[in-house]
Amino acid sequence: MKEIIRLVCKKKYEILGAVLMLLLLGGLFWRGPKTDYEVLCLGDSIFGNVQNETSIPGLLKKETGLSVLNGGFGGMTLAQRNVERRGDIQEDCFSLVGISESLAAGDFSWQKGSMEEAVHLDYFPQTVSELETVSMDCVEIIVIEYGVNDYLNGLPLENKENPYDKYTFAGALRYVLEFLQDQYPDKQIVLCTPTYCWFPEENADCSRKNTGYGVLEDYVNLEKIIGQEYNVMVLDNYHESGIGNGNVSWQEYTEDGLHLNEAGRKLIAKRIAECIKSEGK
């Protein structure tokens, strides 16, 4: 013991330096205080492109009284797209696969490093900052809304040889659901299908326009099947929301045939809220 004390006294300046370095390293890793949210909304422009209280997450907060984080990234897909693994195509960092992995690791350096390269909107940096500091211990519900961009970009529906192929819609969805359930077994996951959409300038709609691997309904139906496989709540906004039913015109619930207007957002927010309340949260 005396020897140890003598050594410490002899090397006190070196030890001081070591302690300072460890403090500096600790400071580098500290990301600031965590923020508490009860509901985490991950999605595309349907969630993300409106960032105020009239967004779907904002309206959900009003309906449920829960704190809700809007983690939507407009234009992004559920599946990954960079099949050739090119470094100049970096949108995959904002895909649901990329966001889920970063959330679990607590590390959004990929998104930050790719921000300028990936096609991004003004609110992306702020959303990434918020996701980085969210306390996943407080989150009780994860609401996922993706799919329409996978359809619009003509991403493959699935790979029969590899059910977890992250470059297909089904494979990516299976991967993400399994991943999230493994990482957060106590969180409830609510899967929202895309809503019906129109293409007014083409005089077409999603039930007739095949983008390569099917119409939007094919993606929706696959999403429902996979949701059931993983025992998660699936909210079928395509068939059951009323958007796209019968004589409903695109102007009633959407701004441009695809993105929801305030009426459309209220409708979807209410549906999600009812789903959450029915699960007793």
Partner 1 sequence: MKANKESLGQKLKRCIKGLLLTAVGVQIVLGLIWLGGSFGSTQFFSVSMDYVQAAENLTFHEYSGILYVLLTAAALWLQQITGISYYQPLYIIQVAVFLWAAYFFVCCMKRSGGTKGKLTAIFGALFLCTVPMLMQCHLAVRPQSLVVSVFLVMLGLCKRAADNVAEINGKLWIVMGTLWMVLSLLLPEYLYLGAVPVTGLLVLSFLKKGKILKSGCLVLLVFLVVTCMLNAAVLKPAADRIERKFESAMISRLVWPWFNQSYYFWPEEIKAVMSPGQALLIDADAEAVQRDFGPMVEQAYGKERALQLYAQMAKASLEVRTKDVLHEIWEDLKAYICTPLGVYGQLRGAEQISYSGWNYKNMSEQCPQITRPYVFCGFGLWFAEIFCFAGVVVRRLLLWKKEGESDKEKTHSHAFFWIAGLCVLSQAVWYTMSGAGMMDYLNVPVITVLWYALPIYLIFTPQRGRDID
Q: Which residues bind partner 1 (CB under 8 A)?
A: 11, 13-18, 20-22, 24-25, 28-29, 84-90, 93, 98, 101, 104-107, 109-117, 119, 125, 128
Min separation Cβ 75 and partner 1, Å: 12
Q: Which is nearer to partner 1, 124 or 198 (CB)?
A: 124
Contact 39, 64 (CB under 8 A): yes
Indicate the residue among 32 and 87 with the shorter CB distance to partner 1.
Answer: 87
Of 128 and 197, nearer to partner 1 (C-beta) is 128
Q: Which is nearer to partner 1, 15 or 263 (CB)?
A: 15
Minimal distance, residue 70 CB to partner 1, in Å: 19
Q: How far apart are CA 96 and CA 98, in angstroms?
A: 5
Q: How far is the CB of 79 from partner 1 (least distance, A)?
A: 16
Nearest to 124 by CA among 51, 68, 53, 32: 51
Find where tokens 């909210």 sit.
Answer: 235
Q: Phi first, then psi: give them for residue 113, nearest 5 degrees.
A: -70, -20
The closest of 150, 135, 117, 143 to 40, measured between CA atoms, is 143
Q: How far apart are CA 206 and CA 216, in angstroms?
A: 6
b (16+ CB within 10 A) / e for 215-242 = ebbebbbbbbebbeebebbbbbbbbebb
d(CA 237, CA 194): 6
Tell me if 139 sits within 8 A of 41, measured CB to CB: no
Nearer to partner 1, 14 or 36 (CB): 14
**Minimum distance, C-beta of residue 18 to partner 1, in the bound complex (Å):** 4
- Report in angstroms how near the CB of residue 179 gets to partner 1 at its nearest: 11
In the complex, least distance from residue 82 CB atom to partner 1, rounded to whole angstroms: 9
Q: Which of residues 176 and 243 has its CB atom nearest to partner 1 in the complex?
A: 176
User: What is the identity of the amino acid at 245?
Assistant: N
Least distance from partner 1 to the Cβ atom of residue 111, Å:
7
Q: Which of 64, 129, 67, 117 has the alpha carbon at shortest distance from 92? A: 117
Q: Which is nearer to partner 1, 7 or 16 (CB)?
A: 16
